[in-house]
Amino acid sequence: MELILTNLTFSLNATMPIFFVMVIGWWIKKKNFLDESATAKVNQLVFKFFLPALLFVDLATEDFSAIWDTRMVLFCFVATLLSIGIAAAFSLLDKNKSERGEIIQAAYRSGAATLGIVFMTNIYDNASMMALIILGSVPLYNVAAVIILYLTSPENQNHSKQDLWKKTVKNVVTNPILLGIFFGMLWSVLKLPQPPMAMKTVTYLGNIASPLALIALGASFELPDLKEKGKQTLGVTAIKLCLLCMIFLPVAVWLGFRDEKLVAILVMLGSATTSSSFIMAKNMGHKGTVSSCAVMVTTLLSSFTLTFWLFLLKMWEFI
């Protein structure tokens, strides 16, 4: 019982502050400190400047060669690819084609790069394993999200397939988040110099990303939306917090992953839908309703589901 309470407290401490910041964003909107126009501007700032800066710093400052594990990177990549397929299959149940992109993204894309660092630091005082998770999953997360959201955007439904694919390729190449990932990885691999003044400036910009994204998400959230999109949100939540773990955690155990590596994989599979999924959806022509509901609900419930998975892994002595 004491172990369960310890894990629950740990999980709540990691996830509930994220949920509370979103609630503060919702309260700010209700008090008219932010209107729809201002919220849209905040979303654009986060998407074009702050999130790319955060991802650049996360990747540029990691020494991938020191912790490299080809099997783990490949596992993360394949598991992410299959997760996208599972999410895509589920999205076909929704008759509204313009919502399918949001459903797919919300069901597979987790906050591994941010929440994972908190989890790993709390458990092992070391978040180095998250570098492998970031390398194996985050680039694919974002490339797939750009393609899926662009192809399913309501703004692009009347374009020919040839024009649509041309614009999709252009959108992938010029996407600010993907550019942040690309240059961050390039910086790390080439071991380019990191001038303290420049890196500190970019770090400051990156530090703004998460709280501002959560505030913007909360400001965009409306309670009636949750009722309207209840079925989609319930399905996304079940896939994101339960189904992917049920499918891929046993495979990870069978492949021999233990301790830090297994916990990092758990975070990749079973953590809440990342707030950047809402930011990206809004900036690529989607309403963002499904995304905002998914982020709110999965963030609230992930404290309990992650505790459950941690408890099982601990009880079976895999961690």
Question: What gap in Å lies between CA 23 and CA 217, rounded to an integer?
Answer: 9
Q: What is 148-181 written as a DSSP string?
A: HHHHH-GGGTTS-HHHHHHHHHHHHHH-HHHHHH
Q: Which residue has the tokens 């758990």?
A: 266
- pTM given for the model: 0.80
Per-residue pLDDT at 122:
60
pLDDT tens-digit series, residues 147-165: 898 888 877 665 555 665 6
Per-residue pLDDT at 115:
62
How many DSSP H helices and E strands does the chain contain? 17, 0
Question: What gap in Å lies between CA 289 and CA 94, rounded to an integer?
Answer: 14
Per-residue pLDDT at 254:
95
Mean pLDDT of 77-81: 94
Asked if 57 and 184 touch (Cβ cutoff 8 Å), the reply is yes
Residue 109: which residues within 8 A CB-CB, separation 6 or more? Answer: 141, 145, 273, 274, 276, 277
Q: Which domains does the chain have, with CATH numbers?
A: 2-314 (1.20.1530.20)
pLDDT tens-digit series, residues 95-126: 888 899 999 999 999 876 656 665 665 666 55
pLDDT bucket at 314, cuts 50 / 70 / 90:
confident
